[in-house]
Amino acid sequence: MSKQTYTVSGMTCAACVRHVEKALTSTPGVTTAAVNLATSTVSIEGTASFAAMARQVDDAGYGLVRIKLEATGGAVDELAPALRRMIFALALTAPMLATMIPGLGWHLQGWVQALLATPVVFGAGLGFFRRAWKQALHGQASMDTLIALGSGIAWAFAMGEWWNSAHHLSFETAAALVAFLLTGKYLEARAKSRATDALTALLSLAPPTALRIELDGSVFEVPVSELHPGDRARVLPGQSVPADGRVTTGLAEVDESMLTGEPLPIAKASGDSLVAGTVVHGSALEMEILAVGADTQLAHMAAMVAQAQGSKAPAQDLADRISAVFVPTILVLAAVTFAGWWWLGGGFAHAWRPAVTLLVIACPCALGLATPVAVMVGLGAAARKGVLVRDAAALEALGQATDLVFDKTGTLTEGRPRLRRVIACGAMSGDDLLAVAASLERDSEHPIARGIRSAFKGAVPPVADFRVHPGGGISGGVSGLSWRLGSESFLGLTFQDVDEDGIAIGLANEAGLQGLFILGDRLREEAPRVIAALSQQGLKLHLLTGDRSAPAHLMATAAGISRVIAGVRPEGKLAELKKLQEQGAIVGFVGDGVNDAPALAQADCGIAMGSGAGEQGTGAAMAAAPLVLLRPGLEPILAARKLAEKTHRVIRQNLGWAFGYNLLLVPLAALGQLERFGGPMLAGMAMGLSSLTVVLNALRLRR
């Protein structure tokens, strides 16, 4: 029995979720089907073929699409068509709505209105009718049913008015209904367009080509897809490892920060393992390929992100939660209204007007716009405060969070080794020692080299016979002396007076050890202030890192965090977050590296540090996280918390207005009290007014 995840197209509400799940579970061979409305995906367990499942879903009025990790996903494909439909519908509807402006004196002939409205209703809105028809064949209904009935009957009613030469025609009601709903659908498609960015960013770490070593020793550049287990490949300095494997020849340092989150490369020699996407430094390596494609650790990490995204509770608003009752209730009320007026002797001509008015006025335009408009305005407000919001549910979760978990390196700290102090062990001064070390490190791309060079502000002396010793250090001639700079084992010495939490690098010549350089990461300047403010708001704060225990506790104490878990790999971070969530906590996670991507996706609110977005780690972290700090530092978290509360409040107000509008006007429509004010025409105006109200309310977030 296998478990697969697919994209589902055409879903609009919670009723659609139930329809898709019912269609799939009725397919022979399907054991379980769990639909995620927020990401438009479904996870299926069973043995049924894709073709069989796709037929069942298509019969229900929706579409089932394969997800390919190599691709950017289906959400992006939906965006352009949704935009075209929205623009087409709004452009044709606008002239008809303009005729309703008092004092304009603009009147369109009936044939012009019919020519404008018909393509909107049955062209741009064709999807509503297609899904409603297929659902009706299965005895099901959704908001598509209301939209199709409301716009279709309103169009037919307008055609009758035109046929009877009425002065005012109701074509704008039918067209405006479709146009407003398509606007909401476009905003939804735009939000979903980034659903698979995290997977793309992760998999892009692996290079597209590799240097394969043939049996005769020749080397050819081939696509990574042509590699197979057992092949041999060469990885040059500065290049990424193309697949999982082990070193067969060579000695070099490999940057595995995508797995560990720590910036220091690890020495790799014959027999050591290599992971796809990691970067080789110092010298070339030859490797044996052990796993390729979907079997690599990189692909497994991408799968963890996908699973974490799909396993979240759907970000369903109040409209989705009550749609199971709302849609059938409106249909029953419309039928009762029609029958009641017919029974009272009004005949068909009078009975269908209140029923049409009820259907039109109950169509969920305001409901469809209440949340996405507030989110779009809130997104702009958040961006001005240094926070990019990808998911309204995550922003809401930040406002309601009980626990906030921090990564260490690059999150609480600056993420790069800095020189803390120089210890002179001989006659040379600290400045002279630093000048020699900076000269030796002049051409090195190693993080320690950057830390030493940044501490020396003068002109570096020239270096001769420069040589890199992977995993140990470097050597070269400076000012007529031979120098070696590196670790204890490389120098064959024992360092004294070394900070336990720091990195000690020794500088020696023929006379012995001349000096020590103590480097270490540094806590962000604003970290204690931000941590204190978050703690005062009642949040439980945690530090979760792949680093060693000593430096982790040192940084946590300096920042003001009491709970520390160190030495944790990506899967361990994921497990810790799940454990907190199982205890009922609403968890936020702040991180910056590729290794943080699964945790950022699993958290109720993932927050990525966006400074340095061009770096290997941060790009995937930003793609996985629904919230990204655009400004450097942790300060934007405080602003995001405040904005989260305001946005949530506006969304609730919008939904309250939208439902209140229905609760007030639906009974009046059923009782015929709106007929004296224009019936369906008033319904169309009220529908537009309700949408305008929620938009104006959302715009308050800009202040």
Residue 493 sits in a domain whose CATH number is 3.40.1110.10
Q: What is the DSSP track for 542-571?
A: EEE-SS-HHHHHHHHHHHT--EEE-S--HH
Q: Quote the CA–CA distance of 560 and 670 in Å, as a whole number.
A: 62
Q: Residue 661 in contact with residue 686, Cβ under 8 Å?
A: yes
Of 486, 520, 554, which closes a domain?
Answer: 520
Q: Which domain holds residue 562?
A: 387-413+523-630
Same domain, 132 and 235: no
Q: What residues does 274 pair with on adjacent strands?
A: 245
Q: Quote the CA–CA distance of 418 and 445 in Å, as a whole number.
A: 15
Please report, for the domain that includes residue 393, its CATH number: 3.40.50.1000
> Greatest CA span in the chain, whole angstroms?
114
Q: Residue 248 in contact with residue 270, Cβ under 8 Å?
A: yes
**pLDDT at residue 619 greater than cutoff 70:** no
Whether residue 301 is contained in a domain is answered as no
Q: Quote the CA–CA distance of 209 and 302 in Å, as a whole number.
A: 20
Whether residue 199 is contained in a domain is answered as no
Residue 672 banded pLDDT, cuts 50, 70, 90: confident
Q: Quote the CA–CA distance of 385 and 381 in Å, as a whole number.
A: 7
Q: Which tens digits make up the pLDDT trace of 522-560?
A: 888 899 999 999 999 999 999 998 877 888 888 899 999
For residues 611-621, give the mean pLDDT: 45
Q: Which tens digits make up the pLDDT trace of 172-202?
A: 878 887 887 787 667 655 644 543 444 555 6
Q: For strand 627-629 and strand 605-609, is the pairing parallel, antiparallel, or unpaired?
A: parallel
Least confident of 457-461, 625-629, 653-657, 675-679: 675-679
Q: Quote the CA–CA distance of 12 and 19 in Å, as a whole number.
A: 11
Same domain, 30 and 123: no
Handedness of CA 485, 474, 240, 244 (dihedral sign): negative
Is the pLDDT higher at 694 or at 20? 20
Q: How far is CA 295 from CA 44, 73, 594, 597, 601, in A?
A: 21, 20, 18, 19, 21
Q: Residue 602 in contact with residue 544, Cβ under 8 Å?
A: no
Q: Quote the CA–CA distance of 168 and 192 in Å, as a whole number.
A: 40
Q: Quote the CA–CA distance of 78 and 16 in Å, as a whole number.
A: 17
Q: Residue 424 in contact with residue 435, Cβ under 8 Å?
A: no
Same domain, 533 and 582: yes
Whether residue 11 is contained in a domain is answered as yes
Q: Quote the CA–CA distance of 311 and 295 in Å, as a whole number.
A: 22
Q: Quote the CA–CA distance of 17 and 264 in Å, as a whole number.
A: 47
Of 584, 601, 630, which closes a domain?
Answer: 630
Same domain, 496 and 511: yes
Same domain, 622 and 545: yes
Q: Quote the CA–CA distance of 497 and 422 in Å, as a whole number.
A: 11
The position carrying tokens 């050597």 is 475
Q: What count of other Cβ atoms lies within 10 Å of the Cβ of residue 228?
A: 11
Which residues, 6 or more positions from 3, have their beta carbon under 8 angstroms from its beta carbon? 43, 44, 45
Return the closest-CA partner of residue 586 out of 395, 428, 334: 395
Whether residue 202 is contained in a domain is answered as no
Residue 677 banded pLDDT, cuts 50, 70, 90: low
Q: Structurally, how many domains does the chain consist of?
A: 5
Please report, for the domain that includes residue 239, its CATH number: 2.70.150.10
Q: Quote the CA–CA distance of 527 and 533 in Å, as a whole number.
A: 10
Least confident of 141-145, 252-256, 346-350: 346-350
Return the closest-CA partner of residue 371 out of 325, 320, 329: 320
Same domain, 427 and 440: yes
Same domain, 515 and 527: no
Q: Give pTM, 2 decimals.
A: 0.56
Structure tokens at 667: 């009974």
Per-residue pLDDT, 354: 82
Q: How far is CA 386 from CA 177, 393, 401, 638, in A?
A: 36, 18, 20, 11
The overall average pLDDT reported for the chain is 79
Please report, for the domain that includes residue 19, its CATH number: 3.30.70.100
Q: Quote the CA–CA distance of 347 and 361 in Å, as a whole number.
A: 22
Same domain, 542 and 406: yes
Same domain, 258 and 325: no
Same domain, 124 and 179: yes
Same domain, 58 and 147: no
Q: Which tens digits make up the pLDDT trace of 315-362?
A: 345 555 665 677 788 888 888 888 888 887 766 667 777 887 787 677
Same domain, 469 and 614: no
Q: What residues does 413 pair with on adjacent strands?
A: 523
Whether residue 602 is contained in a domain is answered as yes
User: Which of the residues are catalytic?
Assistant: 407
Burial class (CB in 10 A: 0-12, 13-18, 19+), 78: buried
Of 235, 265, 295, which closes a domain?
Answer: 295
Whether residue 639 is contained in a domain is answered as no
Q: Which tens digits make up the pLDDT trace of 408-459?
A: 888 888 877 888 889 888 889 989 999 999 999 887 777 788 889 888 888 8
- Alpha carbon 469 to its chain centroid, in Å, reads 41
Whether residue 636 is contained in a domain is answered as no
Per-residue pLDDT, 686: 67
Return the closest-CA partner of residue 391 out of 381, 376, 411: 376
Q: Which tens digits make up the pLDDT trace of 107-133?
A: 788 899 999 999 999 999 998 898 888
Identify the H or E element spanning 78: helix 75-98
- Of all residues in the chain, what percent carry a pLDDT higher than 70? 78
**pLDDT at residue 499 greater than cutoff 80:** no
Which residues, 6 or more positions from 410, have their beta carbon under 8 angstroms from its beta carbon? 261, 263, 592, 593, 609, 612, 617, 618
Identify the H or E element spanning 63: strand 63-66
Nearest 5 degrees, angle CA 383-CA 388-CA 392? Answer: 110
Whether residue 72 is contained in a domain is answered as no
Q: Residue 609 in contact with residue 629, Cβ under 8 Å?
A: yes
Structure tokens at 242: 């193309």
Q: For strand 244-249 and strand 285-291, is the pairing parallel, antiparallel, or unpaired?
A: antiparallel
